Structure 1
Amino acid sequence: MKFGVACMITDESISPTALATAVEERSFDSMFVGDHSHIPTSRESPFPFGGDLPREFHREFDAFAALSAAAVVTTSLTIGTGVVLPAQRDVFYTAKQVATVDHLCGGRFVFGVGTGWITEQMRNHGIDPCTCGARLDEHLRALDAIWTRDEAEFHGTYLDFDPVFSWPKPVQAHVPVYVGGESAAAVRRAAALGDAWMPNSVLDPARVEAQFALRDRYAPGTPLVAYAVTPDNLPVIEEYARQGADQIVLHLPTLPADQAITVLDAMVTTAQQYRS
């Protein structure tokens, strides 16, 4: 089982270069960073984990810029988005950003995607929240066309374009797509359009089995990557390992460099216990 690190990098936290270097030096397999274009000041959408929205959500770096910095200071670390929201982005810029980062890292990029949960944010992007799933599906299909064809075109409900040129193409013949979200729709999307299902971690080990049951019902055989696992919640980590998770991505809090490194060092010990 692989182990990765997920962190929301901000202007107040450890830098992406320092974090990526430290994560690779400690032999973690991957590093994922989050992404939000903005946070509406008036928000009725509840934070999925309860309580107030943490400060770092308001201050996140752009994921592709952060990963570009991480790419040039690492040689073996898988780097990825955890997650971006393609339906809220221009498909052509997204295609070029992914391909560019994949070049900078030499083909080590993983594209973590989701529909999002802040309905006010979606509306600010001109999107009806009821359509975000269908839009994400079209974006993933259109992106695949742009990445794999010299003259790409796509004709759907939300995206419609005649043949275009777009380079660079990714280094990888196929960019791995990890689909976030906890719903049955997300699992089905992972089976149809992705390479892994990457749900947010549960807090209660008794709930891990239900995630695997959902995976087995809608996407049997699809790798499950447990995202943002609390590193000191050993019962949950043990249960993910027992159930056969492909990878556990441990959550690193948004902290200044010295504090982040201290927490990261403690996470190494946890990963070593269960790595296979």
Structure 2
Amino acid sequence: MEIGVVTFLTDYGITPVELGRAVEERGFDALFLTEHTHIPTSRESPWPGGPELPTRYSHTYDPFVALAAVAATTGRIALGTGVSLVAQHDPIVLAKTVASLDRIAGGRFELGIGPGWNVEEMAHHGVDPARRTARMLEHVEAMRAIWTADEAEYHGRFVDFSPIWSWPKPTRVPPVLIGGGGPTVLDRVLSHGDGWIPLRVPVSGLDAFAARVAELRDRAADTGRGPLPVTVYGASPRPEALESYAAAGVDRVLFELADHGPDGTAATLRELDALAR
């Protein structure tokens, strides 16, 4: 089982290059970054994590720009989004961004995606919250067409364009990891994904989670696909928890780094040292 980290990389914390080098030097396998384009001040959408939305949500780097800097200064670790809100992006523009990043990274990029939770954020992008998942899946289809065809075109409900030329193409078609833990998420993983990235699976729920991993593998085999990897976002670093994740069939865990506030570089490095041990 591989072990990586995921974080809200902010303008007041450790820099992208410092973090990427530190993660690679300490032997971790991956670095994933979160995404929010912005946070509306209305705060009408309840945050799933509690009553008060942490400051880091409105201070994150663009993950694709930050990961390009990390890609240029590392050589081994996998790089990914955990998760990108692709429905809020123009798919033609995002397809080029992802392809460019993957080439800079030498084929190390993985696109973790999710529909999002902040209704006002979506609305600012012109996204109907009731249709955000369907839009997300169409964007994935359109981007795959652009990544793989010399003359790509796509005609859907939310995305519609006639044949286009768009280079560069990615080094490989980036794996798309579908985020979420709802009752229909495995359907989306099987129809549009190359892997699953569930969020914060509690140790107390690992038996039920293991059954879902087994279901995913069985359904993938039934459709002629190979095993679809599972990456757990926000895993517990306790040794007994890691053993349980591995026993459940998890392929990779991501430890979420804490927000150490302004000038928190030294504290972040100490946290990475502790996790590495």
- Specify the TM-score bucket, using the shorter chain as the normaliser: over 0.9
**What is the 5 A alignment of 1:124-273?**
124-172=124-172, 174-203=173-202, 205-217=203-215, 220=218, 221-231=227-237, 233-255=238-260, 256-269=264-277
1:272 aligns with none
In 2: Cα distance, 1:51 partner to 1:29 partner: 33
More moved, 28-37 vs 179-188 = 179-188
Q: Residues 235, 46 of structure 1: CA spacing in aligned structure 2 closer, same or farther, 3 A cutoff?
A: farther
Q: CA-to-partner distance for each residue in 1:31-82, whole Å, 9 max, x for gaps?
A: 0001101111112322222231111001000011100110011011111111
In 1: Cα distance, 2:107 partner to 2:167 partner: 15
Q: CA-to-partner distance for each residue in 1:231-273, whole Å, 9 max, x for gaps?
A: 3x4543332122121001111113321100000000012xxxx
1:274 aligns with none
Q: Residues 260, 239 of structure 1: CA spacing in aligned structure 2 closer, same or farther, 3 A cutoff?
A: same
* TM-score for both structures, normalised by structure 1: 0.92
Which runs of no fewer than 5 residues in structure 1 stay unpaired?
Answer: 270-276
Q: CA-to-partner distance for each residue in 1:105-151, whole Å, 9 max, x for gaps?
A: 11110111110011111111111111011101101110000000000
Paired letter, 1:68? A
2:54 aligns with 54
Contact 1:187/1:219, CA 8 A, preserved across alignment: no
SS at match of 1:184: coil
In 2: Cα distance, 1:216 partner to 1:49 partner: 28
2:19 aligns with 19
SS at match of 1:80: strand
Identity %, equivalent residues: 42
Q: Residues 216, 184 of structure 1: CA spacing in aligned structure 2 closer, same or farther, 3 A cutoff?
A: farther
- Work out whether 1:79 is the aligned partner of 2:79: yes
Contact 2:216/2:228, CA 8 A, preserved across alignment: no
Contact 2:3/2:252, CA 8 A, preserved across alignment: yes
2:44 aligns with 44
1:273 aligns with none
SS at match of 2:234: strand
Contact 1:84/1:114, CA 8 A, preserved across alignment: yes
Contact 1:115/1:133, CA 8 A, preserved across alignment: yes
In 2: Cα distance, 1:219 partner to 1:184 partner: 16
Q: CA-to-partner distance for each residue in 1:162-214, whole Å, 9 max, x for gaps?
A: 00111000011x211111111133221111111110011123x1212222323
1:107 aligns with 107
Which runs of no fewer than 5 residues in structure 2 stay unpaired?
Answer: 219-226
More moved, 148-157 vs 38-47 = 38-47
SS at match of 1:229: coil
Contact 1:202/1:236, CA 8 A, preserved across alignment: no
The Cα RMSD (Å) is 1.4
Give the paired residue count. 266
